[in-house]
Structure 1
Amino acid sequence: MFKGLGKGILLLIVTNVLVMAMASIVMTILSQMGLVPDGYLGGTAVSCLVWGFGFAFLSLMLSKVSAKWMTGAQVIDPSNAGQWGWLVNMVHQQAKAANLPKMPEVAIYESPEVNAFATGPSRSNSMVAFSTGLLSGMNRDEIEGVSAHEITHIQNGDMLAMTLLQGLANAFVFFFSRIIARLAAERMDSAGARMAVYMIVNIVAQIVFMLLASLVLAWFSRKREFRADKGSAMIAGKQKMIAALEAIGRLSGRKIPDDARVPEAVSALAINNERKSWLATVAATHPPLQERIAALQAL
């Protein structure tokens, strides 16, 4: 736990230093050009780092609680698991195989969508949740492949990794949006016009930059999915993970209401993300199923 936490903190410090260094370069250039008053960029950079990483880490700390709230997931009591005793035992056995320091909570949420996800702030405080659609549509071998995939996400520290990248993206988006908005506002004559232009340009710039940042986040997420598939093959066996992906492909053709799908907040660490909007296609967090199956077959 502490070794992983130490690496995470070190990575956070390094990323913050890199952002500050790049921001300092931009500050120096713009200040020398006389485009921005001295001192503004420094304060803006610090503010954006605090807000960018603050929001990301607050989301991480509350991830398990918010996932339960958003999905209505019910945690299974291991001492009174009833018909789901086999599911809890399977997840715990896989967690031991992955050398997790603490057994993750196992939960079930009501949804016709064939899905499962991992969440939680650390390897010692995590949860694996399964939809009722997945549990009723898959056999136990396929569910074992799905579960091992989610356990690998926890083992690899993907929640923390995605949070660090999201925090970095937030900081860049906030910083450059404010700079562009200020430069645009300075061209206006009246205080009212400057305020209006600043607000409008800042909002538009944030939307544009966040869309661009989402492409990087999605690329990173796709890489983590391949790693989680490989980890599942090592824990549960290659054929079980392949069977799980084939089952997802077979069962995912059903029309599922958007409000019954896994929330966006946890979709990056879900086994299946089949949203079909144009934005989801451009910035898909999951590789196509056939590519994932081919990668497993090549192992």
Structure 2
Amino acid sequence: MGTAKTFVLLSMMTALFVGIGFMVGGTTGMIIAFVVAAGMNVFAWWNSDKIVLKMQGAKEVPLDTGNQMLRAFRQDVALLAERAGLPEPKVYIIDTPQPNAFATGRDPSNAAVAATTGLLSMLTREEVAGVMAHELAHVQNRDTLTMTVTATLAGAIGMLANFAMFFGPRDSEGRANPVAGIAIMILAPLAAGLVQMAISRSREYVADKRGAEICGNPLWLASALEKIERGARAQINPYAERSPAMAHIYISNPLNGRGPDNFFSTHPSTANRVEALRRMAGEMGVSSVRETQAAPRRAAGPWG
């Protein structure tokens, strides 16, 4: 998603925020909501990645880490970034047994990728490479700014809607309107969630395709997605559970329980994504997880 689409999204979320402010506090509430929304937009533009990383419990992996698994992880991310023609991103780790990953940052020069300890321990290095190539595709496509800003603003809209429980919207004569208050509490978070869902589903297929091109083997990512789905069903990600508005930033839904690829899912179904990747592997002439279509530019990693 480009900068123009990000501005469109910001406008939509701001309009929703201001509309709720009007329903809660009339003209005064609308003005206050507009001022708050404007400040949040500026703050989210520059700081949403830091907010997301902190809320998800991510810790940066140092260059001189003595952990062999993390050192290899950093090396593979660097190689994939080189193959994609991107600056090397910052690398983070999240201490949770659930396998998952995400990318964040307002542009490729300020990008970061994060993986859980569960992802590194459950997947092979080839499969991890497929996952990180997918995340770097988000960076290259500039999805990350939209994803993180949306998460920040959606959470704020949910909090504003909760204010209606205590203050309630007013009618034209200043009288409390409890029916409208209930409607706001239900519809406002739903509207913000629908925006997240639409963004998440559309961007995942594009990032799957580009990620497969970066790593050279669509089957690495296909195999990884199947393992991630099984692992996510069996393990709780406490950071994601505490901030469900950010679920869409992950490569696979980190919240326990998920349905098919329908209107209310935050991610496309894994089966649909795997099927598309396997078709792509056939088109590329790749038939094994041990193959790559193109050699890396320098020998590194178990697949170089």
Task: State TM-score, norm by structure 2.
Answer: 0.69
SS of the residue 2:266 aligns to: coil
* Whole-angstrom distance in 1 between the partners of 2:197 and 2:173: 36
Which residue of 244, 249, 253 maps to 1:269? 249
Q: In the alignment, which residue of structure 2 is the partner of 1:58?
A: 43
Percent identity among equivalent residues?
30
1:298 aligns with 2:284: no
* Whole-angstrom distance in 2 between the partners of 1:20 and 1:59: 12
Q: CA deviation at 1:209?
A: 3.0
Which residue of 94, 110, 119 maps to 2:95? 110
Cα gap change, 1:285 to 1:52, in 2 (>3 Å): farther
Cα gap change, 1:140 to 1:54, in 2 (>3 Å): same
Count of residues paired in the alignment: 264
| Cα deviation digits, residues 160-198 of structure 1 (max 9, x gap) | 233666799899998xx99xx86x52256xxxxx2xx15
| Cα deviation digits, residues 108-140 of structure 1 (max 9, x gap) | 121011111112233221211111111111111
Structure 1 contact 152–231 (Cα < 8 Å) conserved: yes
Structure 1 contact 53–168 (Cα < 8 Å) conserved: no
Cα gap change, 1:186 to 1:223, in 2 (>3 Å): same
Q: In the alignment, which residue of structure 2 is the partner of 1:97?
A: 83
- Report the AA paired with residue 224 of structure 2: A
* Whole-angstrom distance in 2 between the partners of 1:139 and 1:240: 9
Aligned positions of 1:9-24 closer than 5 A: 10-11=4-5
Structure 1 contact 56–167 (Cα < 8 Å) conserved: no
Q: CA deviation at 1:90?
A: 0.9
- Report the AA paired with residue 88 of structure 1: R
Q: In the alignment, which residue of structure 2 is the partner of 1:69?
A: 54
Structure 2 contact 229–252 (Cα < 8 Å) conserved: no
SS of the residue 1:118 aligns to: strand
Which residue of 270, 279, 288 maps to 2:269? 288
Instruction: Answer with 1 or 2: which has the greater Rg.
Output: 1
Structure 2 contact 89–111 (Cα < 8 Å) conserved: yes
More divergent stretch after superposition (283-292 vs 63-72): 63-72
Which residue of 232, 235, 248 maps to 2:211? 232
| Cα deviation digits, residues 41-81 of structure 1 (max 9, x gap) | 7x877765553454355345333333343333221122445
SS of the residue 1:107 aligns to: strand
* Whole-angstrom distance in 2 between the partners of 1:60 and 1:20: 13
Structure 1 contact 20–45 (Cα < 8 Å) conserved: no
**Alpha-carbon RMSD:** 4.1
Aligned positions of 1:132-211 closer than 5 A: 132-162=117-147, 185-187=171-173, 194=175, 197=176, 201-202=180-181, 204-211=183-190
1:87 aligns with 2:73: yes
1:219 aligns with 2:198: yes
Structure 2 unaligned spans of 5+: 20-25, 281-304
SS of the residue 2:105 aligns to: strand
Structure 1 contact 150–270 (Cα < 8 Å) conserved: no
SS of the residue 1:130 aligns to: strand
* Whole-angstrom distance in 2 between the partners of 1:233 and 1:113: 23
SS of the residue 1:271 aligns to: coil
SS of the residue 1:185 aligns to: coil
Q: CA deviation at 1:293?
A: 0.6
Q: In the alignment, which residue of structure 2 is the partner of 1:37?
A: none
| Cα deviation digits, residues 66-113 of structure 1 (max 9, x gap) | 33433332211224454122211111121222222x321111121011
